[in-house]
Amino acid sequence: MKEYADKSLLAVFAHPDDESFGCGGTLAKYAELGCRVHLVTATRGEAGEIAEGVRASKAGLAETREAELRCACAALGIAPPHLLGYIDGQLTIVHQGQAVARLVRLIRELRPQVVLSFGPDGVYGHYDHIAVHRWVTIAIKLAADSSCFPDGNVCQPHQVSKLYYTVLPEDYIDEMDKADGGAFVMMDGVPFPFVGWKREQITTWVDITAQLPAKLAAIRCHATQVGADTSDSLEELLEAAREPFVLAQSSVGEPGEIETDLFERV
């Protein structure tokens, strides 16, 4: 393994728990390798449901889910989250310019070579996820442009080397469909199907075998979402010991073959 002490990884997501399911193993892996790993979470997840059997109140859900997120970051061994504090479910109507400017500032401060976020599919079309995807795409471009946001010039422009989407392969969704009879998430009373990516579109697989316990611990932190007694279903979920990504933007060239490290060529 090469040296990661001079490397920085930034993940940007919408809700507490988005970081753990799709790419928790990868975040834990790079933290373990000595890379600085930061997470931005746009909301405190107060619009979420509360799983059966979990003692939590709707009124206090923002505080509860923030605590769950902090628990997950600790379990993954990454820095405490940078919370943007927007209202869950309303990211499409927040001031987009302000949200993008906050991300530009964070990118210039943290100077990540690699950024992870949602693809345009938002995993299952969640409008908060899609809003975050758009902010990140724009913020990466503006962060590198010295003519943007010149006021308060504490931050030097920064060029992110690679942007990755956390994605679901199509065959995972087929399996989910077979196992549970429905690969979708209910939103506003409507089932939103998970969006799959073809195997040949997936550029990168990160082996997280050694980080499965950390990923499992992080997922269990999100008790209001996964429930108190999760042992069976979670173990099953975690059989996959590799996490898939799509390299969406690169200033360091395209992979010749399937990548196994987000920092290849960086």
In three state form, how does the secondary structure of 221-260 look?
HCHHHHCCCCHHHHHHHCCCCEEEEEEEEECCCCCCCCEC
Residue tagged 């987009």 (tokens): 96
- Residue 11 found at the interface with Zn ion (CB under 5 A): no
Nearer to Zn ion, 18 or 46 (CB): 18
Nearer to Zn ion, 15 or 29 (CB): 15
Window of 16-24, 66-74, 159-167, 202-210 that interacts with Zn ion by CB under 5 A: 16-24
Window of 8-16, 148-156, 158-166, 222-230 that interacts with Zn ion by CB under 5 A: 8-16
> CA 171, CA 206: separation in Å to the nearest integer?
17
As measured in angstroms, the least distance from the Cβ of 71 to Zn ion is: 17
Nearer to Zn ion, 106 or 130 (CB): 130
H-helix segments, the chain? 18-32, 61-76, 96-110, 122-125, 127-143, 170-180, 212-221, 223-226, 231-237
Nearer to Zn ion, 108 or 134 (CB): 134
Beta-strand relationship, 36-43 and 8-13: parallel
- Residue 143 found at the interface with Zn ion (CB under 5 A): no
- Residue 15 found at the interface with Zn ion (CB under 5 A): yes
If DSSP codes are grouped into helix, strand and coil, which group holds residue 134? helix
- Residue 19 found at the interface with Zn ion (CB under 5 A): no
Window of 18-26, 90-98, 163-171, 219-227 that interacts with Zn ion by CB under 5 A: 18-26
Window of 10-18, 25-33, 94-102, 216-224 that interacts with Zn ion by CB under 5 A: 10-18
As measured in angstroms, the least distance from the Cβ of 64 to Zn ion is: 16
Q: Which residue is nearest to Zn ion (CB)?
A: 15
Q: Phi first, then psi: give them for residue 238, nearest 5 degrees.
A: -90, 10
As measured in angstroms, the least distance from the Cβ of 65 to Zn ion is: 11
Nearer to Zn ion, 44 or 108 (CB): 44
Q: Are 123 and 194 in contact (CB under 8 A)?
A: yes
Contact pattern from residue 95 through residue 114 relative to Zn ion, giving x for each residue in contact according to CB under 5 A and a dash for the rest: --------------------
- Residue 72 found at the interface with Zn ion (CB under 5 A): no
- Residue 18 found at the interface with Zn ion (CB under 5 A): yes
> CA 183, CA 174: separation in Å to the nearest integer?
8
The site that binds Zn ion (CB under 5 A) totals a number of residues, namely: 3
As measured in angstroms, the least distance from the Cβ of 35 to Zn ion is: 24
- Residue 14 found at the interface with Zn ion (CB under 5 A): yes
Q: Are 33 and 74 in contact (CB under 8 A)?
A: no
Contacts of 94 (CB under 8 A, 6+ apart): 86, 87, 131
Q: What is the rounded end-to-end Cα distance, in angstroms, of the chain?
A: 14
Contact residues toward Zn ion (CB under 5 A) are: 14-15, 18
